[in-house]
Structure 1
Amino acid sequence: MTGRLGGGAIAALGLALAVLPFLAWYSAGPPGDRATASGLDGAGELWLLPPLGLAAAVAGARLATAPPERVAQVARWAGPVAAAAGLLALAFALRAALGADLELRAALPGGPERVPAPVDREPAAALAPVCAGLLAAVGAALAWAGRRA
């Protein structure tokens, strides 16, 4: 994997991880009038994904723009940064996507009230762990390739 291709992949996956928590992760209610919540609204630990994603994106951008004679040297630190960010993001994204039992609460004048409705996961809840896993894999591959060069 070349430095430009690998760096671009890391940067793109990192940016995706930085944006995905802001999208709708959860929805509930009748089909015509569904209420949605972003990943940040539904799971507090997802505030860590944007900084992790941005760290990986910076490492990927640095690798993609490295001169050819320095690609291996940059890959030695950019790969582990991306792999670590991907593994941490994977843990948090999986916990938020699979582990939480959610309930719908309606804000009423007398206070919030629980509404018995199933809460569904939206596509962003499935896409975030996939992006995090790919980021970890590409980062590990680049770190290994940088050490071999």
Structure 2
Amino acid sequence: MDYTPQSRDFEKIEVVVMLIGELSKRTGLSKDTLRFYEKLGLITAQVRQAGTRTYMEFSQEALDRIVMIKQGKSLGFTLNEMKYLMDTWGSVSMPTSEKLKIIDSKLEEIATKIQQLKEIQQYLTTKRNTITQNQIEKLNQEYQKSSEEKLH
């Protein structure tokens, strides 16, 4: 019987390792931002020495976490909230009631922001309509003045 690795059905696990420059390109974030995230503990890097140089290597997990961070930020989550959620959300230690409380709180924030945006939209629409109406009135006045001058 042949027991070589080629004869077995080994599950091939591809380990993705990126240096900070590659991670920056893939995420669209600056190297400084990635270092900041690493310092906050949002992402982790393996430190590798090569001669006198030190390299930070990031895994696919770091890339996945950055995607979650970007999505969370776009929804209004702070970096501290994102760290807390990513570190505890999947764990058994976070009770369902706590998860629901976080979701409800964020839903309230979103509803407040939507209301504020609607108010701003209404204000800007009113301003736009006022400007448009003023332009129409000004053009009408200019037209009437021009018409009167032609008659005289």
Q: TM-score, normalised by structure 1?
A: 0.31
Q: Comparing both chains, which one has the higher relative contact order based on Cα–Cα distances under 8 Å and sequence gaps of 6 or more?
A: 1
* Structure showing greater Rg: 2
Q: TM-score, normalised by structure 2?
A: 0.30
